[in-house]
A and B are shown apart, each in its own frame.
Chain A
Amino acid sequence: MAGFNKVVNSYAEAMAGLTDDMTIIAGGFGLCGIPEGLIAQIKQMGVKGLTVVSNNCGVDGFGLGLLLEDKQIKKMVSSYVGENALFEQQLLNGELEVELTPQGTLAEKMRAGGAGIPAFYTATGYGTPVGEGKEVREFNGRPYILEESITGDFAIVKAWKADKYGNCVYRHTAQNFNPMAATAGKITVVEVEEIVEPGELAPSEIHTPGIYVNRVIKGTFEKRIERKVTRS
C-alpha cells in the first residue's frame, strides 16, 4: 500500500503520461528554481507540440531552452523571453508562438487556476496591447480587464525539500513561481534536492501542502547562474 507516499524512483515514472500537444506549467524564474531533471526527461521523451507556461524559456542549451533544440514547444506563455537566440530564431520563422503575459498576471493565472477560479479582473494591462479584445469592467471608477486562469496537464516544480507525502519547502528566491505551478497541474511532479520522512518538516513551514503533489523525485542540480554579480 503506497498510501500518501508520492516518491518515484525514475524520471520515466515521474513524467509518465506526458504526450504530444499537452500543456505544461513550469516553475522557475530565469534559471533559478527550475526542475532541471524533469526538463531533461521531457527532452528525452521527444514529445512535441507542447504549450509551456513559464515566466521565461531558459537560455540557449539550458533550462527550457533545451526543449527548443528539437522544436518540442509549439507555444510559450511567458512574461519575458529575451535570453535565448534559438527562441528568437524559431519565433521569427513562425515555428513558435508566444503569448506575452505580464509577470504578476501570469502568477495570478496559475494561482487562480489551481484555486478553482476561472478568471479575475486586474488593472494590469488595461489600455495596452495585453488588454486588446478582453472584457473591461469598472470598479470604483477604475477600469479593469478580465484575465482567464490557467491549468495544465502537467506541472513541473522544483523544491528544496519534500517529505514522502509531497509536502514541499523552497529555498530562498528559488521559490518564485513554483508554489503556484504546483497547484495548477492535473499531474504535479516535484523534483527536489532532498527527500525526508513525514514529520521532519515543521507543519507550519510547509510552502506547498502535499495535496497538490502527485509525484516526488530526488534530482541533482547544476544550478547555473545567469548573471553572477559580486560586490566590487
Chain B
Amino acid sequence: MALTREQIAMRVAKEFKDGDYVNLGIGIPTLAANYVPDDIEVMLQSENGLLGMGPYPTEEQIDADMINAGKETVTAATGASIFNSAESFAMIRGGHVDFTVLGAFEVDVTGSIASWMIPGKLVKGMGGAMDLVAGAKNIIVTMTHADKYGNSKLLEACTLPLTGVNCITRIITDLAVLEVKDNAFHLKERAPDVTIDEIKQKTAGKLVVEGDIAEMQF
C-alpha cells in the first residue's frame, strides 16, 4: 500500500537527530513536526524570522504579529529567537540549518529539483525554496512517487524549470526511501506491501537496487 501523507510525515520524522535545527516546507513536511520522537529535541526554523517555532496558538494566544512562513498564526517555543529576514537567510544560506524538508514536482538522478514553476500555469513565486536548497546540509524531498496520471516524478533529467541543481540527497515518497548519488536513485526502503517491481515501474530515472530492501518502519 502506498503511504498516506501522515505516514510519509512519520517516516520523515525518523530522520531527525537530537539537536537538529530543521526547516519544514508547507504541506507534508510541516506534518512531520507532529511525529518528532519523544526522546529527541529538534528546533524548527521558520524562514520569515523565527527559530524555535511552537505549536499553533489557542484562540486566546492568537497574535497577528506572530506568524510562520506559511503566514499561519503560530507560537514561539521556549528558547526561541526572533530576527529579521536577512538574518534568517544568513543561517539558511550559511549552512547552519541541519535539515530542510520540502516538496517537489520532479527530482532527477543528479539531485536537481523542480518545485516552483510549471510553464503555462501562473507562477506565484519561489518564496524561500531556492535559498533553502542552496543552503541546507541535508535536504529531504517528500512527494508522491508518480503524478495522478502515473507519470514518474523521479527522472533522468528534470523537465520543469529548476529550483536548485545537484542538491537533493534523499527522497521519501509514498512508495520508497531513496538516496541520490552517482547519477542514480538508490532504493533504501520500500513502503509496506509495495513491491520492488512497482517502484521500478514508477521510477523513470536510473534506479539501483542492491541487496535486501527492507520495509519502512514507523
Query: A167: CB under 8 A from chain B?
Result: no
- Chain A residues with Cβ below 8 Å from B63 are 172
Interface residues on B, range: 35 or more
From the candidates B72, B85, B89, name the one contacting A227 in the complex (CB within 8 A). Answer: B72
On whether the beta carbons of A228 and B135 are closer than 8 Å, the reply is no
On whether the beta carbons of A80 and B135 are closer than 8 Å, the reply is no
On whether the beta carbons of A223 and B58 are closer than 8 Å, the reply is no
On whether the beta carbons of A80 and B127 are closer than 8 Å, the reply is yes
- The smallest C-beta distance from B194 to any residue of chain A, in angstroms, reads 31
Bound-complex Cα distance A32 to B72 (A): 10
Query: B77: CB under 8 A from chain A?
Result: no
- The smallest C-beta distance from B150 to any residue of chain A, in angstroms, reads 27
- The smallest C-beta distance from A137 to any residue of chain B, in angstroms, reads 15
Bound-complex Cα distance A55 to B128 (A): 10
With A127-B164, A128-B130 in contact, is A225–B73 under 8 Å at CB? yes
Interface residues on A, range: 35 or more
- The smallest C-beta distance from A117 to any residue of chain B, in angstroms, reads 12
Bound-complex Cα distance A80 to B68 (A): 15
On whether the beta carbons of A29 and B48 are closer than 8 Å, the reply is yes
Contact digits for A100-129, partner B, Cβ 8 Å, 1 yes 0 no: 101111111011000000000011111111
On whether the beta carbons of A228 and B73 are closer than 8 Å, the reply is yes
- Chain A residues with Cβ below 8 Å from B66 are 172-173
- Chain B residues with Cβ below 8 Å from A106 are 85
On whether the beta carbons of B128 and A102 are closer than 8 Å, the reply is yes
- Chain B residues with Cβ below 8 Å from A127 are 112, 162, 164-165
From the candidates A32, A81, A107, name the one contacting B125 in the complex (CB within 8 A). Answer: A81
| Among listed A6-14, A41-49, A176-184, A212-220, interface-contacting one | A176-184
Bound-complex Cα distance A29 to B65 (A): 10
With A107-B84, A123-B134, A231-B57 in contact, is A224–B64 under 8 Å at CB? yes
Query: A130: CB under 8 A from chain B?
Result: yes
On whether the beta carbons of A80 and B73 are closer than 8 Å, the reply is no
Bound-complex Cα distance A82 to B127 (A): 10
From the candidates B46, B76, B93, name the one contacting A122 in the complex (CB within 8 A). Answer: B93
On whether the beta carbons of A126 and B165 are closer than 8 Å, the reply is yes
On whether the beta carbons of B71 and A177 are closer than 8 Å, the reply is no
Contact digits for B109-143, partner A, Cβ 8 Å, 1 yes 0 no: 00010000100001111111111001100000000
Interfacial residues of chain B within 57-106, with CB under 8 A of chain A in the complex: 57-59, 62-68, 70-74, 76, 82-86, 88-89, 92-93
On whether the beta carbons of B58 and A176 are closer than 8 Å, the reply is no
Query: A5: CB under 8 A from chain B?
Result: no
- Chain A residues with Cβ below 8 Å from B59 are 230
Q: Look across to chain A and name the residue whose beta carbon is closest to the beta carbon of B89.
A: A104
On whether the beta carbons of A207 and B130 are closer than 8 Å, the reply is no
On whether the beta carbons of A102 and B84 are closer than 8 Å, the reply is no
Bound-complex Cα distance A31 to B88 (A): 19
Bound-complex Cα distance A27 to B116 (A): 24
Residues of B within 8 A of A (CB): 46-50, 55-59, 62-68, 70-74, 76, 82-86, 88-89, 92-93, 112, 117, 122-131, 134-135, 161-165
